[in-house]
Structure 1
Amino acid sequence: MILFDYFNVWLFLSIVKQISGISYNQPKLCANATWNQTAITFANITTVGTQPVGMFINTDNSVYVADQANGRIQVWLNGSTTLTGNYSGGLSVPYSVFVTDNGDVYVDNGNTNYRVDKWGWNSTSSVPAMYMCAQCYSLFVDINDMLYCAMSTYHQVVSKSLDTRLNVWNIVAGTGTAGSTPSTLNQPNGIFVDNNLNLYVADYSNNRIQEFALGQLNGTTIVTGAIILSGPTSVIFDADGYMFITDMKNQRLIGSGPNGFRCIAACSGLYGSSSSQLYNPHVISFDTYGNIFVVDQFNNRVQKFLLLPNSC
């Protein structure tokens, strides 16, 4: 009877996943959710190399980290804490990675090769998915199978259909010139596209998060209240649409909730290498349990902040 129940739960979750087409985690959190301020080091320089920035965690709790120093994507499958394998071959300083719900892995290969590469599920080699002008500081695939790239050095976000018959990408944010107006960006980093196809951009050098409604080239700045951002590099959401941000130059993680924005981890504002500090944090991602992983660039590691079960 227990096996039958577990099978039905697994089947239900599998069907939901197939219907939703969402490969990343958006956990349901309580209003007072807090995280242990002493982080666990999930991976260090031995496995992720020097100055990593890119990461993705899927709904199976598989962790993908862009080891740009060694030209590969390191993989820990299905919640494992032991390195499982990697994607490599022809990669030049991969900056970002995104994995779709069918297991396809998209990797920035724009440093010298000016493209995004794709590894199909269980494939041993890659194929070009999109040709670019520069590195993609962030990659994202939306529910309509549109691939997005944040070209930070071009101050733009572009998108392209994954339909292989359509090879042209379109500008969805930014003019190509650095600026702080509603229509311009300055070194965009992390991007996120919600189910309503609204685009959110961590506008790094403008110290803001911009929201672009579908088809609109003028963005709206997200008001973060008393929290003043400095160099945001990543933006994600939980199940209720609350926003979580890497506030890189302030060396901390920010989260929102019913009571507004607050610091949730590494709140001293000082860089460092202790388990409660970060040094140029970049991508953040949830696992299915609501734990927060963050790529800690200058500490050459990935840190894991555990959700406190009794915080609610």
Structure 2
Amino acid sequence: MNASESLSNDGAESPRGAVSRRRFLQGAAACGLLAPLASATGCEPAGPGFGRLDKVWGRHGVVGGRMHKARAMAIDADQRLYLVDFTARILVYDLDGNYLHGWSTPVCDNGRPTGLTYDPASNRLLVADTHYYRILEYELDGSLVSAATTGGTNGVAPGEFGFVTDAVRDSQGCLYVCEYGDNDRVQKFSPDGEFLAQWGSHGTGPDQFKRPQNLLVDSDDRLWVCDACNHRIKVFDPDGKLVAMWGEEGSAPGQMYYPYDIVMDPAGDLYIVEYGNHRVQKFTQGGESLGVWGGQGRDEGQLWDPWALALDSHNRLHVLDTHNNRVQRVVV
């Protein structure tokens, strides 16, 4: 994602777009996203590893089942894998990487989606249409459910959004949406789309975020947030009360550098992909590191700017190796 994606359709920047762009550039500079990441993180991560590389697949391209800088991933109940790439295409594969079908989001002149979530209750795919300030819902055949779209207006009022990055539903059907830009917050909506609550603002304090990038709802309806540019994980109860926070910037085991996605296995352990450290790290729920996998590079078993994770029913971790244009599967 780059700052130029905040431009309007005709190439001119609105006053709100200019503010958002300045906020992005300021945040990106503060987070180090405008500098080469390799020099900041080194190569192979130190410490104990976990898992075994099982399969690598994917080809670079913009047609058919090829991918171009895919940035989000999800798995449905039938174990189909969904990716969204930088051409704004939703690509659907089986778990071995065989391409099944795909479709494109309605428009992408302003920018591309950066979040995907499979919602088992509705059997639909939630797409964070980041630069159009909305969450789209699709049937799994690619049919857009227009009536289910959440948002679409750029702003800071309840129900308006900045750059949305992810959306998830809890066991009661409530929808949580995270966003960055002017807001850096989480908003909560009822199953009928009624605004219920919001929390967060831009900053480094316990009640603030700097680019909340991805969300996870656990079996207790706690909301886990990858607070990416603060290099930490935050956990909230359904009312938005902060119940846990851990993580610090760095490349040592237990530290993080731009945590971009998080999944939880059946045992309750967490896997976090670190965009800046080019690795995946396994944690207890209390933040204790249980091992790392990956490291910067182009070879199999190495990663380059990974964005996303998905865990299948066989307890295999699928890692979206974004700038290598591939998926790597790890038995954990």
TM-score w.r.t. length of structure 1:
0.76
Aligned partners of 2:119 and 2:168 also within 8 Å? no
Task: State the partner residue of 2:200.
Answer: 174
Aligned partners of 1:59 and 1:287 also within 8 Å? no
- For the residues of structure 2 that align with 1:117 and 1:41, how far apart are their CA atoms? 30
- For the residues of structure 1 that align with 2:290 and 2:259, how far apart are their CA atoms? 14
* 1:46-86 deviation digits (Å, cap 9, x = unpaired): 3353222110012321101012x222211125x45321111
Partner SS, residue 164 of structure 2? coil
Partner SS, residue 205 of structure 1? helix
Task: State the partner residue of 2:155.
Answer: none
Which amino acid is 2:103 matched to?
Y
Percent of pairs identical after alignment?
19
Displacement, 1:273? 1.0
Displacement, 1:274? 0.8
Which amino acid is 1:75 matched to?
V
Unaligned runs of 5+ in 2: 1-47, 152-159
Structure 2 residue corresponding to 1:43, chosen from 58, 61, 70:
58
- For the residues of structure 1 that align with 2:240 and 2:226, how far apart are their CA atoms? 17
- For the residues of structure 1 that align with 2:257 and 2:247, how far apart are their CA atoms? 14
Q: Superposition pairs for residues 1-312 of structure 1, below 5 Å?
A: 34-36=50-52, 38=53, 40-46=55-61, 47=65, 49-67=67-85, 69-77=86-94, 79=95, 81-92=97-108, 93-101=112-120, 102-111=122-131, 113-122=132-141, 124-127=143-146, 128-131=148-151, 132-153=160-181, 154-163=183-192, 166-168=193-195, 170-171=197-198, 173-175=199-201, 178-218=202-242, 220-222=244-246, 227-257=254-284, 260-266=288-294, 269=295, 271-307=296-332
Aligned partners of 1:52 and 1:297 also within 8 Å? yes
Displacement, 1:192? 0.6
- For the residues of structure 1 that align with 2:107 and 2:143, how far apart are their CA atoms? 14
Aligned partners of 1:243 and 1:255 also within 8 Å? yes
Partner SS, residue 298 of structure 1? helix
Q: Are residues 291 and 105 of structure 1, via their aligned partners in 2, closer, same or farther at CA, if it must alter by over 3 Å?
A: same
Aligned partners of 2:281 and 2:290 also within 8 Å? yes
- For the residues of structure 2 that align with 1:83 and 1:135, how far apart are their CA atoms? 29
Pairs aligned (count):
264
> Which stretch shifts more, 284-293 or 92-101?
92-101
Partner SS, residue 56 of structure 1? strand
Root-mean-square deviation (Å): 2.6
* 1:207-262 deviation digits (Å, cap 9, x = unpaired): 11111122134452136895111111111111122111112211111113599413
* 1:159-218 deviation digits (Å, cap 9, x = unpaired): 22332xx343631x412xx22211111111111111222111111111111111221344
- For the residues of structure 2 that align with 1:33 and 1:242, how far apart are their CA atoms? 15
TM-score w.r.t. length of structure 2:
0.71
Q: Which has the higher contact order (CA 8 A, sep 6+)?
A: 1
Which amino acid is 1:249 matched to?
G
Displacement, 1:123? 6.1
Displacement, 1:145? 1.3
Aligned partners of 2:253 and 2:292 also within 8 Å? no
* 1:127-150 deviation digits (Å, cap 9, x = unpaired): 142005233222212211122222
Which amino acid is 2:302 matched to?
Q
Which amino acid is 1:130 matched to?
T
Partner SS, residue 262 of structure 2? strand
Which amino acid is 1:262 matched to?
L
Which amino acid is 2:119 matched to?
T
- For the residues of structure 2 that align with 1:253 and 1:42, how far apart are their CA atoms? 18
Q: Are residues 123 and 54 of structure 1, via their aligned partners in 2, closer, same or farther at CA, if it must alter by over 3 Å?
A: closer
Which amino acid is 1:244 matched to?
Y
Partner SS, residue 228 of structure 1? coil
- For the residues of structure 1 that align with 2:313 and 2:107, how far apart are their CA atoms? 29
Task: State the partner residue of 1:22.
Answer: none
> Which stretch shifts more, 144-153 or 196-205?
144-153
Aligned partners of 2:113 and 2:129 also within 8 Å? yes
Partner SS, residue 323 of structure 2? helix
